[in-house]
Chain A
């Protein structure tokens, strides 16, 4: 095709057209076959009942067949009447078609067995017509996206996003589940409630979750400030200055992190006790800060990429090393600061083993992690599982908020601002 349309990249169009025709054709090829019976998608769509509890799943099949056919028609039409609008319509139809094709992997069994079309169906009974259609639909979608100059990354991100969010969704649904209990054999709760969240905060004598949550906020915020400063400071001097003992110091930092830490927990505990810090939140902050320097690598690597001329220029301007750190290096490091801040903030929420030993019986000092783990004891899990999930959600909220807020510092891309 030698037509040219602004906003379209037509060299991919013919392949997309072929793909959509193959996709439409595959609707009439065998889609599922078992014990000699074989069904095409078109036939399945026609023989499904229009009402009953199958409705949503049947819709998937109908939408699939409909969009498959429409997309092919639309593609042929656009072949002769090419325009941005019509090609984008093709792309959107194809996207829905691809989505339904993918969904068929999950709903086929339900649809086919419930409607009685094919009893005892398993996904391994899917036939070549289906796979052909599946591949063709993705192929076509990609070609249409190329034609309309849409980034193909969306397909990938959508799939990955669903996979990544699946357990999170499960925790959220558990937190909202009205039916109590550890194991339930279904995904969507039969009834939703906020009661689990309310319960979590309404028994301060047995389950002082509010207190735990607050404790963790205190520790997390302090750790965040202190640790980030220490990491940045350590990385700065190790990267931008040269002094005797620098390399040995880096080697020591690297290897002392390698001892199995749990063996020496009791020693740390007794040292803290000697300092009068046992069972206090301060101890957590102090221990966290004491080890913070060991996480200097990424930041140092980042600082290493800044050209030396940066410091030299500042020195000529009469700045001392500390001022360079404060006024030259830090403003250029926003994105890595975001990473460090978030990392330490997160760490404070998930730090479990040492705090559980540190606080012992002093429940008023527990952090959310210790408290939540306490809920998962075998004896308590059956009763508290939904509240445990609710606790996990409550813990996640400040972190997500912090991240959303911190992201604005991500946008100030540094490209170009640092030039050698």
Chain B
């Protein structure tokens, strides 16, 4: 779309080189569109600006201001002599102030993005008009959303949803790490305040006590994540290949058998299996009746047994999920690849390593990585199956030997209400897993070369 007569202007030159409407459009969003004839679009931009200003005036500015102090009025109590009761006077709730401050920040960020968009799109309209080209009508703009701008149409809802329900809470949690929101500063009865890096300093100073737990738990989290992810991945792939192989009849029946266990909500199956594996659970009862052992096996009570058991139970639950996914993809592998391999006399194993696996791996690398991260943070599997047990006094505050970092964090929060420290540890965990993921993700072939497998 470049106009050969005029170099495309950047953010600054739009202002310096532009005429009065261009300059004013920095202040009044949509002005340039109105001038260039894009009336509806201009009005929409203007409406957004008015809405934002209205919001800021009515409550936004107060919220930003409150964010700085996190509230001044402590909840109080006054004795009403006439009636003989205490009456509570509502104070500020630091937690809500923090949250709605963050909401205002996110709204402001979205507004700034909008503002930039309006400037550039206004400039685009102006330069087209100046060059005597056709200026897009509103209807054309809408239509372009179905074609070259289809990503805007498709991503609008996800982006909005993620900003509201993921990003905002996330920023809220990060900010919490810089406050003294601990057991002694619990809203609504008390206020909490900013303390800077104090919490991280505390964590470092109590480090020997915490690190005696942190590192072993981190280590187990990694072992668990890797075993849980890859056992299910390969197990599921293997199962799918067996079921999908040509000689097997009644494929639907076999798949249904394995999917049945998925049909029971996982926390129920985890709880039931946890019961079955107990000292007097049915598995121990049967193993003794069948003569495999003469005493109950400590499936979930001995550290090593428990760790192996949770991985196996997770395997039991996870394999059908992968099987289902892999089945879907397997059918899409071009059949002629196998035909030609067969003609070359390749063994089934060779066909797997040379065709099936590379194809699967190409499609699923991002899935595997996100699954790995998901397993590092697999709260449900541990919480519902063992609750972290067997607990051990080797660990700080009796954390459990199957506790992952997340479940440990959860216990810390629940036991002592120290949200600030929990948030700080949360940030540390996040930094570790984010670094790990980004490195792996960037290195993965599928990401580097998305058009690769053809």
Contacts and interface: CB of A to CB of B under 8 A. Distances in A.
Is there any pair of Cβ atoms, one from A and one from B, under 8 angstroms apart in the complex?
Answer: yes
Interface of A: 105-110, 121-123, 149-151, 153-154, 156-157, 160-161, 163-165, 167-168, 170-171, 182-187, 230, 233-234, 236-237, 239, 241, 243, 246, 249, 251, 253-268, 270-271, 274, 286-287, 289-294, 297-298, 300-302, 304-305, 307-308, 320-323, 325, 335-336, 338-339, 342-343, 346, 349-350, 352-353, 368-369, 372-373, 376, 388-389, 392, 395-397, 399-400, 403-404, 407, 410, 413-416, 418-420
Provide the main secondary structure of the chain A interface.
helix
7 contacts: A289-B161, A290-B166, A298-B325, A298-B329, A308-B451, A392-B265, A399-B262
Interface in B200-257: 239, 242-243, 245-248, 252, 254-257
A395 B108 CA distance: 44
Nearest to B284: A185
A239 B362 CA distance: 14
Interface of B: 95-96, 99-100, 103, 143, 146-148, 150-151, 153-155, 157-158, 160-162, 164-170, 172-173, 176, 239, 242-243, 245-248, 252, 254-269, 271-273, 275-276, 280-282, 285-286, 289-294, 316, 320-321, 324-325, 327-329, 331-336, 359, 362-367, 369-370, 373-374, 377, 379-380, 405-406, 409-410, 413, 419, 422-423, 426, 429-430, 433-434, 437-438, 441, 446, 450-451, 453-454
B422 A263 contact: yes
A274 B169 CA distance: 13
A237 B154 contact: yes
Contacts of B332: 302, 305, 335, 414-415, 418
Nearest to B247: A151
Nearest to B146: A322
Contact of A230 (B158, B272, B406): B158
A396 B260 contact: yes
B242 A259 contact: no
Contacts of B267: 350, 352, 369, 373
A265 B419 CA distance: 13
Nearest to A153: B242
B272 A407 contact: no
Contacts of A410: 252, 255, 327-328, 331
Contacts of A123: 290-292
A109 to B, nearest CB: 3
A271 B168 contact: yes
> What does DSSP make chain B's interface, helix, strand, loop or mixed?
helix
B276 A167 contact: yes
A170 B334 CA distance: 41
Contacts of B176: 263
Given A256-B166, A271-B103, A301-B446, A237 B151 contact: yes
Nearest to A157: B254
Nearest to B150: A321
A254 B437 contact: yes
Given A164-B316, A320-B147, 8 more contacts: A109-B290, A151-B248, A153-B242, A153-B243, A257-B370, A335-B328, A368-B265, A388-B268
A234 B158 contact: yes
Contact of B334 (A241, A261, A322, A419): A419
B272 A256 contact: no
B438 to A, nearest CB: 7
Given A230-B158, A290-B161, A260 B406 contact: yes
B265 A350 contact: yes
- Most B Cβ at <10 Å: residue of A258, A260, A289, A339: A260
Nearest to B242: A153
Contact of B429 (A260, A271, A373, A376): A260
A168 B263 CA distance: 10
B96 A270 contact: yes
B363 A420 contact: no
Contacts of B269: 167, 171
A267 B166 contact: no
Q: Which of B95, B151, B272, B329 has the most CB of A within 10 A?
A: B151
B273 A167 contact: yes
Contacts of B364: 297-298, 301
A416 B256 contact: no
Given A122-B291, A267-B173, A301-B364, A153 B245 contact: yes
Given A392-B268, A403-B256, A251 B438 contact: yes
